[in-house]
Chain A
């Protein structure tokens, strides 16, 4: 399969530490790929390699079909990058820095003017376009930083934790802009984030990285489905623990049930298939004549998937450390 970004067996070490450890991913054209993981998982290192800032220790990476080690210059013409820890030149105005970066990208004359105007408009930078950058707030600088990455209409956009420090309105504006870029201009977006709702909202596919390795990959829906852990909550009208206990016992026999428990008249059932459990629950309460005031089904969130996968990783590494200490 060919993709806008292809990573094969990527390794990056710092001394004895393997920050990225055999990573292989394919990001398709015009796709928003969310790259999530806990702190120190290797997200930023990966993004810095893909955006030609860092050389890989081993492995191959192609961006838009170009090998980043053989021809990084051509790659840089096709990408826009907004880094997590990127400062801006405070002596320039927003408009000047956009024009400066447009020129560095080879834009001149009308195309430069159009690029600057477009970048200003798409992220709502108009209000402070002529202000010196040193006078802007952190959120404004972040928006400007992303506008700079867009000034030359890149085919592939790398965003490292783009909404950190943004207010909810700016965050929503950026989400809409990313969706528009993908939909209207076919831009491929590689996005790292720690906000799982952001990945859930924006990404066509998500890669979860921990310890420098890819732990899971798929669409948000597929990842949640793979977790196979719906939760059905039933509130007993009487708030009577005996009724709740009866429901728990009757539910435990159902093949979809993983576990069931109750507290304060609320029965909580973890299920492999919430729809089956829900239907079964309704049959139980009807046949046992137990009154219920509420029944709800909660699908797994991306948070559940993330915690499941990264806690497995933590447990595995703790176990490994224990073995090493024991040996």
Chain B
């Protein structure tokens, strides 16, 4: 199983340098929003002792995972061309086809997080938790990327339709702003606070922010970890069910 996952992840990672057109927006979008939002809001959105560039940095990292770092498009392509069938006649474990790509996603999110983080540090962001905190910050962001990835995979496998997967990314992107993206919970309008309380991203952002602003806040980090685990559990269940469906029906039904 591990070897199968390594092989599948290897294919996806090998293709990365050849897919610059899809990686560029995934890197550009969070950096763009970080730079523009900080430049626009840092003077009016100073939150007491907390500089806005520190408060907003985790949002940009979370956006990395939402703006198309996922390899779900690979699945759609494989299904559309019939290559998925060719993979299915090999003895590879079916789940390795999914988890192998997710490992690649984890690596991609980790790699894309670094330049976004560097932009933040250049802007003056300082991590209260130190170097270890930075590493945990990247790990948490990458795990979020892994947990989130299950949703686009579920859609890709279920529909085999690139348009559905692309529009899902747009939908998920809006969800990223139905939370404490710009201000803490107690400054949100009541309806948005209510939505934000139910949005798992809120707890992830609070965990990531704690590493930047507060140092080591065990409770915030534990809640963030549990949130990532919970989202991952739901998304993986959906993705595995879709995988099972796709393996059952194949890419086509022919006589």
The answer on a CB contact under 8 Å between A104 and B250 is no
CB interface residues, B 69-119, toward A, < 8 Å: 77-78, 80-83, 85-92
Cβ of B219 under 8 Å from chain A: no
Q: Is the CB of A104 within 8 A of B254?
A: no
CA distance A145 to B85 in the complex (A): 12
- The chain B residue sitting closest to A85, CB to CB, is B82
Residues of B within 8 A of A105 (CB): 90-91
Which residues of A159-190 have CB atoms within 8 Å of chain B's CB atoms?
none
Contact B89 A52 (CB under 8 A): yes
User: Among the listed A17, A88, A104, A212, which residue makes an inter-chain contact with B90, where contact means beta carbons less than 8 Å apart?
Assistant: A104
Give how many A residues have a beta carbon under 8 Å from the other chain's beta carbons. 39
Q: What residues on A are CB-neighbors of B91 within 8 Å?
A: 73-74, 76-77, 104-106
Q: Is the CB of A89 within 8 A of B85?
A: no
Given known contacts A44-B255, A100-B7, A103-B7, A91 and B18 CB-to-CB distance under 8 angstroms: yes
Q: Is B131 interfacial (CB 8 A cutoff)?
A: no
The 8 A CB mask of B227-255 against A (1 = contact, 0 = none) is 00000000000000000000010111111
- Chain A residues in 8 Å Cβ range of B11: 89, 92, 100
Interface pair B88/A53, CB less than 8 Å apart: yes
Residues of B within 8 A of A212 (CB): 255
What per-residue 1/0 map shows which CB atoms of B14-43 lie under 8 Å from chain A? 110011000000000000000000000000
Asked if residues B85 and A86 are in contact (CB atoms below 8 Å), the reply is yes
- The verdict on A269 contacting chain B, using a C-beta distance below 8 Å, is no
CA distance A48 to B254 in the complex (A): 9
Say yes or no: is A41 at the interface (Cβ < 8 Å to chain B): yes
Q: How far is the CB of B57 from chain A (nearest CB, A)?
A: 33
Report the minimum CB–CB distance from A195 to chain B (whole Å). 19
Is the beta-carbon distance between B19 and A91 smaller than 8 angstroms?
A: yes
Chain A 200-216: CB-based contact to B (< 8 A → 1; otherwise 0): 00000000000010000
Give me 30 A-to-B residue pairs in the complex whose CB atoms sit less than 8 angstroms apart, sorted by A's number: A14-B255, A40-B255, A42-B255, A45-B254, A52-B88, A53-B85, A55-B248, A76-B89, A83-B86, A83-B89, A85-B251, A86-B81, A86-B82, A87-B81, A87-B86, A88-B81, A88-B83, A89-B11, A91-B15, A91-B19, A92-B11, A92-B14, A101-B90, A103-B7, A103-B10, A104-B4, A104-B7, A104-B87, A105-B91, A106-B91
> What would 12 more interface pairs be, CB under 8 Å, given A53-B85, A103-B3, A145-B86?
A14-B253, A42-B255, A76-B89, A79-B89, A81-B86, A87-B81, A87-B82, A87-B86, A88-B86, A91-B15, A92-B11, A104-B92
Nearest 10 A-B pairs (CB), nearest first? A87-B81, A76-B91, A104-B90, A81-B89, A103-B7, A91-B15, A19-B255, A87-B83, A85-B82, A104-B92
- Taking Cβ atoms with an 8 Å cutoff, the residues of A that contact B are 14, 17, 19, 40-42, 44-45, 48, 51-55, 73-74, 76-77, 79, 81, 83, 85-89, 91-92, 96, 100-101, 103-106, 132, 145, 148, 212
Interfacial residues, chain B to chain A (CB-CB below 8 A) = 3-4, 7, 10-11, 14-15, 18-19, 77-78, 80-83, 85-92, 248, 250-255
